[in-house]
């Protein structure tokens, strides 16, 4: 079976979802051809703004030359949704996967940039209907990664949760090493950077940020905070090595403080939460629903409960119980074997309907 994947997700370093998909397909002898068509230039940017940036029109146009020779076309993200139309009309079997409620997320970014844009709130309803309608008509199967997105598609989607590429990096035991906070991904205000900085200072605990810092105000605060070290975004293998190195000196506690400032942020699974669970790293988070569910299951504590946070940082028994709970929760809900089984079932289903 020849599979083409069209994705806006990065390939250097490889996006975690792409990493899992390629690993899974390789295990069954399939090597997909991956196309990232996000070539930035002024002309392409202006063309996509005809749809307010919701759809990547130049990428859709370029994809028409890349569909031939493939039986299954795997389209990732709302920005590439229109590629499903081209693929279906050429007789391909089409899978559409989306990992965020991008209708609401894009509207949030637009209205943050231009506050007056909020008067066009009705756009969200229209685009949500359009996404569901196009996916229903031109995709054979829709894949999502959370219950919230399954609800967005009125139940007409397969839920395949994220599987962390870090799941093999489980600790053998919890030691009495000094505590340190860990943060994975884009460190910005929307992701709770200001709360995280306050937490680091309050508990006087070092923090390692593995990701990017792009907001000048946040970068300036970090420059004046000696407890923080920022490491660049790296591949899954490089991240595993970095985690091993950090664990030689620290007991790690993961920060997950994404602000529920839009429907997507409020309801979506966050990869860093699942990475922390896979590593046996307890979570210090907020009451955003998916994060709160993990904390309430025993996988961490809430950031505003200062006594509980300090116990997690200081007490060996609390560390051991929480780390063990994280690993068990990950194995039950997110392990790679579950992800791979569901991907294989999806491919088998699409072949049966061909």
Q: Is residue 83 part of a domain?
A: yes
Same domain, 342 and 328: no
Same domain, 24 and 81: yes
Residue 305: is its pLDDT beyond 90? yes
Q: Give the DSSP per-residue string, 255-276.
A: EE-----SHHHHHS--HHHHHH
Selection from 347, 353, 352 nearest residue 2 by Cα: 347
Beta bridge partners of 75: 6, 96
Same domain, 346 and 320: no
Measured CA to CA, the distance from residue 283 to residue 182 in angstroms comes to: 9
DSSP state, 284? E
Residue 172: is its pLDDT beyond 60? no
Residue-level pLDDT at 354: 63
Among 8-22, 220-234, 272-286, the range scoring the smallest mean pLDDT is 8-22
Same domain, 61 and 111: yes
Looking up residue 304, the CATH number of its domain turns out to be 3.40.50.2000
Same domain, 322 and 341: no
Same domain, 242 and 314: yes
Measured CA to CA, the distance from residue 212 to residue 131 in angstroms comes to: 30
Same domain, 248 and 326: yes
Measured CA to CA, the distance from residue 81 to residue 7 in angstroms comes to: 10
- Please tell me which residue, 28 or 334, carries the higher pLDDT value: 334
What is the domain extent for residue 32? 3-163+335-352
Q: Is residue 170 part of a domain?
A: no
Same domain, 306 and 341: no
Same domain, 193 and 315: yes
Same domain, 82 and 104: yes
Same domain, 340 and 318: no
Whether 143 contacts 150, CB under 8 Å: no
Q: How much is the mean pLDDT over the chain?
A: 93
Whether 95 contacts 6, CB under 8 Å: no
Residue-level pLDDT at 131: 98
**Could you tell me whether strands 283-285 and 250-256 are parallel, antiparallel, or unpaired per DSSP bridges?**
parallel
Residue 267: is its pLDDT beyond 80? yes
Number of domains in the chain: 2
192: CB partners within 8 A, 6+ apart: 255, 256, 257, 258, 259, 286
Averaged over 206-217, what is the pLDDT?
96
Q: What share of the chain is helix, strand, coil (3-state, %, to 5)?
A: 50, 15, 30
Q: Is residue 172 part of a domain?
A: no
pLDDT band at 99 (very low <50, low <70, confident <90, very high): very high
Query: Left, alpha or beta for 192 (phi > 0: left; psi -120 to 50: alpha)?
Result: left
Give the pTM.
Answer: 0.93
């Amino acid at each position: 079976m020849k599979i083409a994947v069209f994705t806006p997700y990065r390939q250097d370093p490889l996006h975690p979802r792409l990493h899992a998909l390629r690993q899974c397909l390789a295990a069954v002898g399939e090597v997909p051809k991956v196309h990232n068509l996000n070539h930035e230039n002024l002309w392409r940017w202006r063309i996509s703004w005809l749809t307010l940036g919701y759809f990547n029109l130049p990428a859709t146009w370029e994809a028409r030359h890349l569909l031939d020779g493939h039986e299954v076309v795997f389209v990732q993200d709302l920005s590439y949704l229109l590629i499903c139309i081209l693929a279906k009309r050429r007789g391909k079997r089409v899978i559409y996967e989306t990992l965020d409620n991008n209708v609401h997320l894009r509207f949030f970014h637009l209205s943050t940039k231009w506050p007056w844009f909020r008067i066009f709130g009705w756009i969200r309803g229209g685009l949500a209907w359009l996404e569901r309608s196009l996916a229903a008509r031109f995709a054979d199967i829709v894949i999502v990664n959370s219950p919230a997105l399954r609800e967005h598609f009125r139940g007409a989607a397969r839920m395949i949760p994220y599987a962390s590429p870090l799941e093999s990096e489980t600790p053998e035991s919890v030691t009495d090493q000094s505590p340190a906070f860990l943060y994975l991904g884009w460190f910005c205000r929307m992701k709770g950077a200001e709360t995280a900085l306050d937490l680091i200072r309050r508990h006087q605990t070092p923090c390692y940020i593995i990701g990017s810092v792009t907001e000048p105000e946040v970068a300036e605060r970090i420059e004046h905070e000696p407890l923080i070290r920022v490491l660049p975004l790296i591949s899954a293998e490089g991240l595993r090595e970095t985690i091993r190195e950090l664990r030689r000196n620290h007991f790690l506690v993961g920060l997950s403080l994404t602000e529920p400032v839009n429907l997507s942020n409020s309801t979506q699974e966050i990869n860093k939460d699942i990475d922390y669970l896979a590593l046996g790293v307890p979570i210090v988070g907020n009451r955003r629903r998916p994060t709160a569910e993990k904390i309430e299951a025993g996988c961490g504590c809430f950031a505003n409960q200062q006594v509980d946070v300090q116990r997690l940082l200081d007490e060996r028994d609390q560390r051991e119980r929480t780390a063990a709970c994280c690993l068990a929760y990950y194995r039950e809900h997110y392990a790679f074997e579950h992800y791979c089984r569901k991907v294989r079932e999806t491919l088998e289903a699409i072949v049966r309907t061909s």
